[in-house]
Chains A and B, each alone.
Chain A
Amino acid sequence: MKDTAVNTPIDPKTIKGWGIDADPENDPTYPMRRHRMNIGEDPQAGNRPDNLQPVDVEVLKSVERPNVSAVFGTPRPPSGLSGAIRRQTYKYSENEYKRWLPLVLADRVDMVEGVVSDLLHGKLPNIWAEKGYDMEWKYNRSAFLTKMATIGAVTAGLVVWLSSGKKK
């Protein structure tokens, strides 16, 4: 409760702009639907834009949609093992866990594929820089060193433990 002392009550009417957007009708109406239409009232609900982006890369489409949207992102089409997992997941509706959870797995596989790709291109990922550890070193050094030391000790312990198991 120590913060209570520094919270000074304020007369709201002294705050610049107080009440300028007050809207008694916004209770509990849905503010974004000032021009509400249901589908039956909208004869244009199924219309499409005149121009459609050419589908010149593989685009995974939600089965809950009838078509490819008029524009879509193209930079990272699915590829490799991660792409194969993604293609499988998109066969299911967004209502299903198997639509989403394997995508997280695909993301992790993609990460490994990214490291392999770096190495195949002669690039060694600079993990220190990619993780922004310079900022930890500059602003959070003692906690950072403690964390790294803990991770190192646990890793070393695991290695020793697993090695001793093999000898038996």
Chain B
Amino acid sequence: MYTQELVSAASIAARDTGTSFSTFTNLSRSIMLAMEYRGPKRIRAVQKPMPEIKHPQDAIVRVLRTCICGSDLHLYNGNIPDTRVGSTFGHEFVGEIVEIGEAVTKVKVGDRVIVPFNIACGECHYCRQEMYGNCNESNTESAAIGAFYGYSHTSGGFDGGQAEYARVPYANFGPTIIPDDMDLDDAVLLTDVIPTGYQGAEMAGIQTGDTVVVFGAGPIGIVAARCAWLFGAGRVIIIDKEDYRLEFARNYSYCEAYNFQEIGDPVLFIKKMTDWLGADCVIDAVGAEAAGNTLQTITGRKLLLQAGSATALHWAINAVKKGGVVSIVGVYGPTDNLIPIGNAMNKGLTIRGNQTSVKRLLPRLIDHVQNGVLKPKELITHRMPLEEVADGYRMFANKLDNCLKTVLMPPSANQ
């Protein structure tokens, strides 16, 4: 698939314009329903033009299920730079392929597919090392960040899947056929939540018998806590401030769960629980929206002087033992954060983080779901029509009605 010569700026400028790459289609529509961002905490469902094939490896997917993710809240709150009005969010979606570009050979019209949240070519320097969250051929607007569906121009400027239809680049690589016996509700949670929670545990380098602490009892943290056992953890503790989520975590993840508003200093609490050594591994499953520290909240979430509130990461560094591992799957913005990096150095920590390499993990995780080891759809607490997307975001953002995970159903899903 690769030519041996670099493409010069001149040749880029000379690319054909207006070329149609579409060869197979069963589409006859010109508009669709989609979520649209209008500014911080303002979104609506509108009619937008249908997505088009822009590249020979593109596909168009009719969305059958799409979710609101915790990291969508960073966009919703206006905290990610270059989130443009008119954008459609949504990086968790599954659907049916309805149109393919002329170079697409690995999937066909009619296939039902899991769409990994990261857009990856599968062949660049990073993809060939299975770092599919770091593809070098998907995001023009940032060299540091990979490309994700519906996640601002900082992440590539692609519209997302909170719509009836979505453009899916690199259809020969990304989309993965949904097994016949898999529920769509299970499948949609394999686009991000399950792989990200799993990778959070994987990056923690858990060894048999380890004590693992997870900060954040959102869907990702709950899955990370559940997956920590798969790596042989001996004890798993989750920390949050929402009692209903902590109760959910106790039941779903079989872990101990504590409310940081009731335990005093969470770092001291963990030290006391671990013979004053600290946890072997700590997972930050919160990211930029963390509560629990006024200075972090004001400078990170209100004034945007930091790339979000780094409270959870701060606690993670201080709560892990010397020589321990901190795994970061919580999402932060591209600027700076206040964290105790001196403690990380003095304690000899290993800090790992990355966007999830969904495609790398899918075969193993599909097995785990089919074998009953993981049960993704039990995370779903709410189901709403796409037309009510603004209500869905408000409910999830403010944790109303014990909301944990919301699935949005586009009208096209019922066709």
A residues neighboring B (CB under 8 Å): 1-4, 6-7, 9-10, 12, 15-24, 26-37, 39, 42, 44-56, 59-62, 64-76, 78, 82, 86, 90, 94, 97, 100-101, 103-104, 106-108, 110-111, 113-115, 125-127, 129-136, 138-140
Contact = CB atoms under 8 A, between A and B. Distances in A.
Given A33-B130, A53-B15, A114-B39, 19 more contacts: A3-B262, A19-B208, A26-B205, A37-B125, A44-B128, A48-B6, A50-B2, A54-B15, A54-B17, A55-B15, A64-B143, A69-B136, A75-B159, A90-B141, A94-B142, A103-B82, A132-B392, A136-B394, A138-B401
A10 B257 CA distance: 13
B136 A52 contact: no
Contact of A3 (B154, B246, B354, B364): B246
Contacts of B18: 54, 56
B232 A18 contact: yes
Chain A contact residues: helix, strand, loop or mixed = loop
Contacts of A51: 55-57, 103
Given A3-B262, A20-B230, A72 B6 contact: no
A30 B143 contact: no
B190 interface: no
Contact of A72 (B57, B130, B156): B156
Interface residues of B, number: 111
B375 to A, nearest CB: 10
A62 B372 contact: no
A135 B169 contact: no
B233 A12 contact: yes
A67 B9 contact: yes
A162 to B, nearest CB: 24
Interface in B111-139: 119, 121, 123, 125, 128-131, 136-139
8 contacts: A22-B231, A70-B137, A71-B169, A71-B170, A94-B144, A100-B333, A104-B304, A130-B38
B54 A28 contact: no
Contact of B205 (A15, A27, A56, A115): A27
B292 interface: no
Given A17-B229, A94-B144, A68 B335 contact: no
Nearest to A42: B125
B157 A126 contact: no
Contact of A70 (B121, B143, B360): B121
Interface of B: 1-4, 6-7, 9, 12-13, 15-19, 38-44, 54-58, 78, 81-88, 103, 119, 121, 123, 125, 128-131, 136-144, 147, 153-154, 156-159, 169-170, 199, 202-203, 205-208, 227, 229-235, 246, 250, 254, 256-259, 262-263, 304, 325, 333-335, 350, 352, 354, 357, 360, 364, 368, 371-374, 390-395, 398, 400-401
A62 B157 contact: no
A73 B137 contact: no
Given A48-B3, A140-B400, A113 B85 contact: yes
B203 A76 contact: no
B143 A65 contact: yes
From A30, A34, A53, A72, name the one whose CB has the most chain B CB atoms within 10 angstroms.
Answer: A72
